[in-house]
Amino acid sequence: MEIPYTVEVRPDTGLTNGKIGIWLFLASEVMLFGALFASYILIRTGAPTWPRGHTILNVPLATVNTIVLISSSVTMVMAWASLMRHRFGTYRIYMGATILLGGVFLVIKYFEYSHKFETGLFPSTSNFLAIYFTLTGLHMLHVMGGMAVNAYFWGPGAKLYKTNPEWFINRVEHSGLFWHFVDLVWIFLFPTLYLL
Amino acid sequence: MSEQGVVAAHKAHVAHEAHHEELGFWRKYVFSVDHKVIGIQYAVTGLLFLFFGFSLMMLMRWQLAYPGAALPLLGKLLGEARMPGGTMVPEFYNELGAMHGTIMVFLGVVPLAVGGFGNFVVPLQIGAPDMAFPRLNMLSYWSFFLGGVTMLVSFLVPGGAAQSGWTSYAPLSVIAGTGQTFWLIGMIFLITSSLLGAINFITTIIQLRAKGLTFMRFPFFVWAQFVTAFLLLLAFPPLEAAGVMQLMDRVAGTSFFLPTGLVVSGQVAHIAGGGNPLLWQHLFWFLAHPEVYVLILPAMGIVSEIIANNTRKPLWGYRSMVYSLVFLGFMSFIVWAHHMFMTGMGTAMATFFQTTTMIISIPSVVILTALIISLWGGSIRYNTPMLFAVAFLPMFGIGGLTGLPLGLNVADIPLHDTYYVIAHFHYVVAPGTIFALFAGVYFWFPKATGRMMNETLGKIHFVGSLVCMNVVFMPMFIVGLHGVSRRLFDGGASYDFAQPVLHLNVVSSWGAWIMALFQIPFIFNFFWSIWNGKKVDQNPWEATTLEWAAPSPPPHGNFVVVPQAYRGPYEYSVPGAPKDFTAQYEA
């Protein structure tokens, strides 16, 4: 039994099932991070003193990480665009680069975290660090999730390209939408935590 | 296509199927991706959890009716830690209270109403072969299942299950025992399950509608599930965020919900402080108020289907009902703080939330009124589903109207956290939603099994449940108006002011225990009818909506002939038509 509109669009909505699904998922993600940002505002406005982010956190490292993530979004688009032009080899290179850049982000984050722990700064130290570790930790989980999906489409999942290229291109597009969202969350996290 | 034609095609189809039996037992009945099997899995698991949650409450009712008395027989079985010498300890009472609420809401009613009926009925009613994402659907069920197991296991950890109420208010919940951590992890599984389900429902309803089935031709049940899915999608993530923060508070020692200078058992707690306990309440109720509508909207949907079918009339004011439903869904996101009038949030905030609360009562009343007017002038068939559906109207009405004083800031002050509140929301959920769910079980049982449930046993179940529900909950209004708090371990026995109403606790308790006896005919009927019920054809209720175009039980892929919708959902007793119902799928 075939589920309709997985590959071709439904004429009256102009969408595939997957496209609606991923946007709905992103809507719920907005509510998830929205609630955390709202909590941040509430706790910060209720606090008698609140440290400026740059006095505790490493702004240059985070700036590098911002550039890394934005570049990975660019390579993600290039990966999808290569598929649209039916250049599978180029797709592999760009998708590989996207995964690699995600890895670079995580490595830099690892150094940031371990430096904090070495200097005795833990989530329990203050509410600033609590929200910092919670928000960035949850964001890191999303980065890892996105990398896992991308790695699947780079490796074993790419077999679908041979049998049903259109379906595969849709999947890469949806994975890309998620990846851009993860990137976007960081664009909000960076100034909120490091600069303000 | 004529009905004989469909039956003949079905027979041919079954013969065809017999040659292609490729799925094994595990893939067909356990790890199935078929929406009907998943729907039945959800429904049966949900019913079991409802019964389990009910049993927890029956234990509590013993302590409330006869505080400090030893419970005969069962008391010994529950062990020395929980009931030494058969007498309940307060910690165990608190476990029962917290877990009764959690299980009834998150593991009983929602899985049955949304996971069970939504999964089984929605794809059939919109003429779809399955859900849009069948594997996601299976994942949703198993995530729910793991959440349920986590909650059950929490009873066995040292210190027992969560004890801080189903609301898990901080800071109490943060300093509570290990059971609370299990509660939080269980909730994260359940939230994931709801999220996957919600994405699936919305996509399915938008994309897999049959040809000709425009939104205004949807059965009201489909609309109810559509709006419910949006509530689940957007309201649950903030609770997930709150759950993560509480988990951080408990495991990593953060202070999101712990204020500066918190004193626990006479000792100043070693915490960074600076947190806000009210933040938890805001995030919790931001989910939990829409959750109330998640509990009630599918119930309204089920009742609407059954009322239209058994009055043999179209629903009165279908369009107004749909607009009210959508408005209700939207408004449910901006009323949450009416649960928090006692927190001292200030008159400006309180005024805003009491105003939105009064506004949201309007669409609820529109829907209820439309359903009552639908009865007018119909030649009503009083079968078991219809009896439950009709009983839903006054029961939900009592629950809804008694909620108005709670929604007003000033009137809430004396009533807050008393048994009045318990009576109010139980009227909405127990004889309200659960009656609608029973109605749904009796109504769609022939579609799921091809057999009817027994009418006599159904009527015994109905009359007993209706009487007992009122015996349980009506006295609680009086107890609550006397000011007895809902959280008391002894039901108020140690307070002078509560003495005149203590005997009502005994009445409520006996009502609950006798109600349990009246569930036996239902349980027996349910299993007996699967194999021995009266065999029926695909449309035993002579209904108009698309699910009745499929064979009973529907095969994998649902329809023998791809259905098409030619008209609105409730064309009953159309003047000049050859019979008193014209199905949506009839050209």
* Cβ–Cβ gap A39/B255 under 8 Å: no
Q: What is the CB neighbour count within 10 angstroms for residue B307? A: 28
Cross-strand pairs, B263: B268
Q: What is the 3-state secondary structure (H, E, C) of B450-464?
A: CECCCHHHHHHHHHH
For chain A (196 residues), the mean pLDDT of every run of 10, in chain order, is: 91 96 98 97 94 95 97 98 96 98 98 96 96 97 98 96 95 97 97 94
* Domain coordinates in residue numbering, chain B: 3-261+271-549
> What's residue B29's pLDDT?
85
pTM of the model: 0.95
* Cβ–Cβ gap B202/A32 under 8 Å: no
Higher pLDDT, B465 or B16: B465
- Of the candidate CATH numbers 1.20.210.10, 1.10.10.10, 3.20.20.370, 3.40.50.300, the domain formed by B3-261+271-549 belongs to 1.20.210.10
Assigned CATH for A17-195: 1.20.120.80
For residues B545 and B322, give the distance between their C-alpha atoms in angstroms, rounded to a whole number: 17
Q: Is the pLDDT of residue B10 over 50?
A: no
Q: Dump strand ranges (E) for B123-279.
A: 263-264, 267-268
CA-based nearest residue to B484, from B497, B471, B503: B497
Q: What is the pLDDT of residues B512-534, one digit of tens each?
A: 999 999 999 999 999 999 999 99
For residues B198 and B70, give the distance between their C-alpha atoms in angstroms, rounded to a whole number: 46
Sort out which chain B residues have CB atoms less than 8 A from A132's CB and list them.
Answer: none
Q: In angstroms, what separates the C-alpha of B401 from chain A's closest C-alpha?
A: 32
SS3 B535: strand
The answer to whether B24 contacts chain A (CB < 8 Å) is no
* Domain coordinates in residue numbering, chain A: 17-195
Sort out which chain A residues have CB atoms less than 8 A from B245's CB and list them.
Answer: 36, 39, 134
| A131: closest chain B residue by CA | B256
Whole-number average pLDDT of chain B: 94
> What's residue B336's pLDDT?
96
Whole-number average pLDDT of chain A: 96
* Cβ–Cβ gap A123/B252 under 8 Å: yes
* Cβ–Cβ gap A127/B275 under 8 Å: yes
Q: What is the pLDDT of residues A82-91, one digit of tens each?
A: 999 999 999 9
Percent of chain B whose pLDDT exceeds 70: 96
Q: Is the pLDDT of residue B418 over 60?
A: yes
The answer to whether B256 contacts chain A (CB < 8 Å) is yes
And the tokens for A133?
Answer: 């570790």
* Cβ–Cβ gap B129/A42 under 8 Å: no
Q: In angstroms, what separates the C-alpha of B204 from chain A's closest C-alpha?
A: 8
Q: What is the 3-state secondary structure (H, E, C) of B290-335?
A: HHHHHHHHHHHHHHHHHHHHHHCCCCCCHHHHHHHHHHHHHHHHHC
Average pLDDT over residues B272-294: 95
Q: Which residues contact A52 (CB under 8 A, 6 or more apart)?
A: A196
* Cβ–Cβ gap B275/A43 under 8 Å: yes
DSSP state of B70: P
Q: Which residues contact A182 (CB under 8 A, 6 or more apart)?
A: A69, A139, A142, A143, A146
Question: Cα–chain-centroid distance for residue A65?
Answer: 12
Q: What is the pLDDT of residues B296-311, one digit of tens each?
A: 999 999 999 999 999 9
Q: What is the CB neighbour count within 10 angstroms for residue B538? A: 20
SS3 B202: helix
Percent of chain B whose pLDDT exceeds 90: 91
Residue from B215, B245, B254 whose CB has the most chain A CBs within 10 Å, to mutate: B254
Cross-strand pairs, B418: B485
Instruction: Considering only the beta carbons, identify the residue of A3, A29, A47 that sits closest to B274.
Output: A47
Sort out which chain A residues have CB atoms less than 8 A from B276's CB and list them.
Answer: 42-43, 46
Q: What is the CB neighbour count within 10 angstroms for residue B319? A: 10
In which band, very low, low, confident or very high, does the pLDDT at B2 lie, cut at 50, 70 and 90? very low
Q: What is the pLDDT of residues B313-327, one digit of tens each?
A: 999 999 999 999 999
In which band, very low, low, confident or very high, does the pLDDT at B21 lie, cut at 50, 70 and 90? low
Q: What is the pLDDT of residues B115-164, one digit of tens each?
A: 999 999 999 999 999 999 999 999 999 999 999 999 999 999 999 999 99
For residues B420 and B404, give the distance between their C-alpha atoms in angstroms, rounded to a whole number: 12
Sort out which chain A residues have CB atoms less than 8 A from B272's CB and list them.
Answer: 124-127, 130
For residues B399 and B393, give the distance between their C-alpha atoms in angstroms, rounded to a whole number: 10
Size of interface A-B (CB pairs under 8 A): 129
Q: Is the pLDDT of residue B224 over 90?
A: yes
The answer to whether B251 contacts chain A (CB < 8 Å) is no
* Cβ–Cβ gap B241/A39 under 8 Å: yes
